[in-house]
Amino acid sequence: MHDHQKCRELFERLSEYIDDELDAANCDAIDAHLQDCPPCQSCLATLQQTVALCREMKTSAMPEAASQRLRAMIEKMLAR
């Protein structure tokens, strides 16, 4: 029988897992779960693809007119 609680626990730590922020024991437990859980394997692959796409995105500067309006609104709020 599949333990969905284990999947939820894995999902809560998946971001830390792919960022290598977990200790070896937690990584080993996640690796063991992933070996036998195709849905979690898919979730991991999707998250890894999402992170890779986000890293590849180019940022663009805010248009100067919008930047000036935003600055003016912030200054107005701070003046209150």
Query: What average pLDDT score do residues 46-60 get?
Result: 88
Q: In which band, very low, low, confident or very high, does the pLDDT at 2 lie, cut at 50, 70 and 90? A: confident
Scan for tokens 């999947």, then name that residue: 7
- pTM (2 decimals)? 0.65
Q: By 3-state DSSP, what share of the chain in percent is helix, strand and coil, each rounded to 5?
A: 80, 0, 20
Question: What are 3-48's pLDDT values in tens digits?
Answer: 788 899 888 999 999 999 999 999 999 999 999 999 999 999 999 9
pLDDT, residue 1, reads 65
The enclosing H or E element of 69 equals: helix 64-79
pLDDT, residue 50, reads 93
pLDDT, residue 80, reads 80
